[in-house]
Chains A and B, each alone.
Chain A
Amino acid sequence: MIQGARRSLVFANRISGRSNGILRRFGPPLLAALAASVAVSANADPLAQCRVLEISDREGGRDCFRDLLANPSPALRAEAAWALGDIQMANALFRSATTASPGDDAVRARWGELFLSTYQVRDAEALFAQALEINVDNVAAKLGLARVALGRFEARAKRIVDSVLAGDPDNVEANLLAARLALEVGDNERARQSLRSPLDAEDVLLRLEGMALAAAIDHLDGSAPSAWETRALEIHPGYGELFETIAHFYIITRRYTEAIAQLERAVAIDPELWSAHATLGINLLRVNRFDDGRRTLAKAHDGDPYNVEVVNTLRLLDSVDGWEVLADDDVIMRIHPDESGALAGYVKRLVTDAVATVGERYGFVPDYPVVVELYPRHQDFAVRTSGLPGIGVLGVAFGDVVLMDSPSARSVVEGFDWASALWHEVAHVVTLGATNNLVSRWFSEGVSVYEEWQTGPSRFQGADTAKGAARYRAVPIGVVEAHREAEMLTVALLDEGFIRPTYPGQIMVSYNQAGLVCEFIAQAYGQAALSRILVAYRDGKDTVGALEAALDTPHHAVDEAFEAYLDDRFAGVDPAAYEVAMEEAMAAASKDDWVVAAEAARGAIAAYPNAAGNPSPYPILAKAEMGLGNQAAAVDVLIEYWRAGGRSPGALARLADALDDAQRHEDALAVRRSLALTLPLTIETRTRLGDDLLDAGKPREALQEYLAVQSLKPHDAADAHYRLARAYHRLNESEDARRHLLFALEIAPRFQDALSLLLEINQ
């Protein structure tokens, strides 16, 4: 069911049938010329006649549309209702039209456009598909499907557009879509070629859209302001969509400040362009201008109360009002109050360490604070990021603003390593800052992934190659397969793997490929080469130019050398054998058949060394060794797993206990640090780490752990206070120690350990 009209993508305005809104704002000197141009087809088209009339006489035009509501054709009445903004009526009339003429593919395609304009995409998609079932050559329906795919970042958008252009190379609407698709992957030249026919289009609305895209190309090329802006505004001084289009491409290239400037221009010349208000509000939030963002979104909501992204974001902002904001010179944190006590210390340390470490490696240490927001509900993070729930990422960096799922939003069991994810996002802050946000998507992701592997909290800590261990961190096995099946993209095209994946899992492959490319460059050309690439991006070079300038190597040669590097890196990895061995190991382990489990797990490790993801053969092998009575061997296996980046909480807890049993308390402490970082909201892990730190003579650090525990409101509150008292006592902070002892004993007067400490303090 159609729920209401709203606009958020620029190109949707033209297809919505609300062109009257655009035409009425044309500049008076050009009205006559424009009217003439539209009138070319108006003679035979009553809708066009109304639109022409509306140019010079808005109310007259609307009366004309109202008159059409009496037309016997339900399809025409639907178009009139749509033009008048009565979406519900338009919907009902399109339904009548299709009932009356079930074989009319054109009506179904238009009805689909109505749904698409109100962002009810599934209904739109169904109607386009129905139209194509009736007439496989219906271009409007094909392009409708292409728009649906475009909005979903699906690779088929390009295939559909290409197929339309194959039959009609000058199709204006298809060329406009082709230009957008090219711009999204940074192929400005291809976009420019696609705009040739739109810029000569007879239809002024299509021509204006072409001009907006041409202006966007100039901006992306660094040639702003664009002459196309002037030309478009000469035709239509109130054409806010011009700047909204330019802003869209700044946004997808992560230049939010520039986007905001364009959106402010858009709403200045068209104060009723609510989609621009909405986008402006969301992007003000992305640069941490909360008050301005909220105010702008409220205005957008007043103008278009049906915009789901705006409604979602405003609701989210209301819920975030009660959050803790902890700020200093380095970090500004917005964290849910239930989690801030346990997370703030870790977040602060991770961010400052990442900024210092990664910043130093790439020659750019931000001199501004990094903003970090952590969302306990993934859907809130999604709304904060895109206005809509349902995005598949764990974190995003908008320049210096990092948004992430908090550790409570996802399970470690499903592989969520929040500390590494935060490290990854802070690396983006560095690469975006170093290039004034001009870095390509793939390279920024590549550096972030590579830094996770090299310097992050779950980094690969090296292996004992003397024992035959592989020297590389394992990547997901699907990446090995993608390499062997030649599914990896060339570096020049790698952005497309992130934006419009063509096969399941390609985004994951692209992340890892990007990381591997950076790893390869660092090894073949030195770490400094990565910094040189950043400098080249900052200077405005595209990927090919940046690579060739920084590496002094043709990009094709880089691709070839990278292929050879992967052949070597993945030599000996046997995905099929790994999967068979893992299945056997898990089955045997479930039956406590430790001999078979151990052998199979060893086989899995041989087929895929350092595989520390979940599930991993290492914890199985360790359990098997324990089952066989080989405690020392089990410890060795788990250490190898931990050093490979493995973070299964159960395995790490077993390792720490075993290390304690072996009197290797320092090693146990290091493992427990990893465990607490992996599960920062778990009372047991934080308490145990605090105890270990206290035993190791680190009462200040222990105190932080105990404070974290207390903030989590443990069931055993007396015990939490008692531990705090112990830490304060060790720090000779007697009053705090006494205070917490009294709190503990107030809850549990017969708490003997606390009573003893109270006596000790008072002696």
Chain B
Amino acid sequence: MTRLHVFVMFAIAAGIVSSLGRAAETQTPAVTALPDAKHHPQARILIVTGLAGEPDYAREFAQQGDASARHAEATGATVTLLTEENAGREGIRAAIETMARESKASDRIVVQLIGHGTFDGEHYRFNVPGPDPTAEDLAAWLKPATAKRQLAVIATSASGAAQDVLAQAGRAVITATRHGRERNASLFGGFWALALDSPGADVDKDDRISADEAFRFAERALAAYYEDHQRIATEHPRLEGDAGSFIVARTRPGEPVEPELLHLVGRVDELTAAIDELKTDRRVLTDDDYFARLQDLLLELARVDQELKLKQQDSPEPEVRVPFLEDDSQ
């Protein structure tokens, strides 16, 4: 089988979250007049679309790359999108090394590869013009990165073979397949892109879709696709590590907040944290007690939220804006 017969969509999506992210060359900033961004954590994403082989795949990969880049930009991430001849082995190496060099420990970095992949029993390879980079290459190029939170999304056939190679502390790895022997054309990337466009993927309704939420959505939609079409599932997506802190899309633009309302935003955060704490205590509480306390917290949260909305409606356009609920402190 030639590599062009193998549908591989290779996407490494490393850390996208950056509510206070600085505008990149391809980025439309979510906010204006930000506080000094130099000391704030950044989210950087490299998206690569590899060789398609056939026009249908080329169109599909381009759409997936564009969708991923557009949604990443909307989160405030710095986005680099490599396509066609720029997406060769050296181009990828250079882009990753740049990202590794420029990122700081508090940053999040994401590498997302879209295209075809192969596994020869020993090495996973991402199909690009010219020599194909292996999973070992990617791991080596990412090694200098000091960012403590990294994410790789490899949505290609055979991509499961890259799991172990890329695994390291602080790096979540998403692959379209469970292992390297799932070699058929992968549809996972399409469902990943669909997740980014789907408000329903935002399970916790915080207006942001995390990589974990996108993965769960795509995994489910993919399984439903194979079932609905009465086809044997030839790919089983896999997520290793914590992808919940990587935001890959927003369901609504971040809204600016008047400085005098920041205390309400802070209260929302406090109440949310209190709810999280209550949930961790659930096992030691009776159901009645737990839900009574939960309701008290939620009612207060509802009132604060309502007050915030009312005051925002009444407010003139703020001179200084900060994004609402864009928390990258995790």
Contact = CB atoms under 8 A, between A and B. Distances in A.
Interface in B200-233: 200-207, 216-217, 220, 227-230
A719 B203 CA distance: 8
Given A410-B230, A759-B306, A747 B298 contact: no
Contacts of A745: 294, 298
A297 B282 CA distance: 48
A18 to B, nearest CB: 42
A123 to B, nearest CB: 28
A718 B204 contact: yes
A716 B230 contact: no
Contacts of A719: 200, 205
Given A747-B204, A749-B275, A742 B302 contact: no
Contacts of A716: 200-203
B268 interface: yes
Contacts of A755: 298, 301-302, 305-306
A269 interface: no
A752 to B, nearest CB: 6
Nearest to A745: B298
Interface string B271-299: 11001000100000000000100110011
A750 interface: yes
Given A755-B302, A755-B305, A413 B229 contact: yes
Contacts of A758: 295, 298-299, 302
B267 interface: no
B67 interface: no
Nearest to A687: B200
Contacts of B200: 714-716, 719
Nearest to B207: A750
A756 interface: yes
Interface in B287-330: 291, 294-295, 298-299, 301-303, 305-306, 309, 325
A762 interface: yes
Contacts of B207: 750
Given A715-B220, A742-B294, A750 B206 contact: yes
A749 B279 CA distance: 11
A755 B305 CA distance: 8
B298 A749 contact: yes
Interface string B253-275: 00000000000000010011001
Contact of B302 (A413, A715, A718, A756): A756
Nearest to A757: B302
A163 interface: no
A408 interface: yes
Among B201, B202, B325, the one with the most A-chain Cβ atoms within 10 Å of its Cβ is B202
Contacts of B306: 755-756, 759
Contacts of B217: 715
Interface in A728-753: 738-739, 741-742, 745-752
**Residue among A413, A719, A748, A750 with the most chain B CB within 10 A?**
A750
A717 interface: yes
A737 to B, nearest CB: 12
Contact of A715 (B203, B299, B325): B203
A414 interface: yes
Given A411-B229, A742-B294, A758-B299, A715 B201 contact: yes
Given A742-B294, A758-B298, A408 B229 contact: no
A714 B221 CA distance: 11
A414 B228 CA distance: 10
Nearest to B195: A715
A211 to B, nearest CB: 49
B205 A715 contact: no
A750 B206 CA distance: 6
Tell which of A410, A414, A715 has the most Cβ of chain B within 10 Å. Answer: A715
Contacts of A718: 203-205
A745 B302 CA distance: 10
A691 to B, nearest CB: 13
Given A413-B230, A759-B302, A759-B306, 4 more contacts: A742-B291, A745-B298, A750-B206, A759-B299
Interface of A: 408, 410-411, 413-414, 714-719, 738-739, 741-742, 745-752, 754-756, 758-759, 762
Interface of B: 200-207, 216-217, 220, 227-230, 268, 271-272, 275, 279, 291, 294-295, 298-299, 301-303, 305-306, 309, 325
Per CB-CB distance, the 9 closest pairs between chain A and chain B, nearest first, are A748-B205, A751-B205, A755-B302, A716-B200, A748-B204, A759-B302, A411-B230, A749-B275, A745-B298
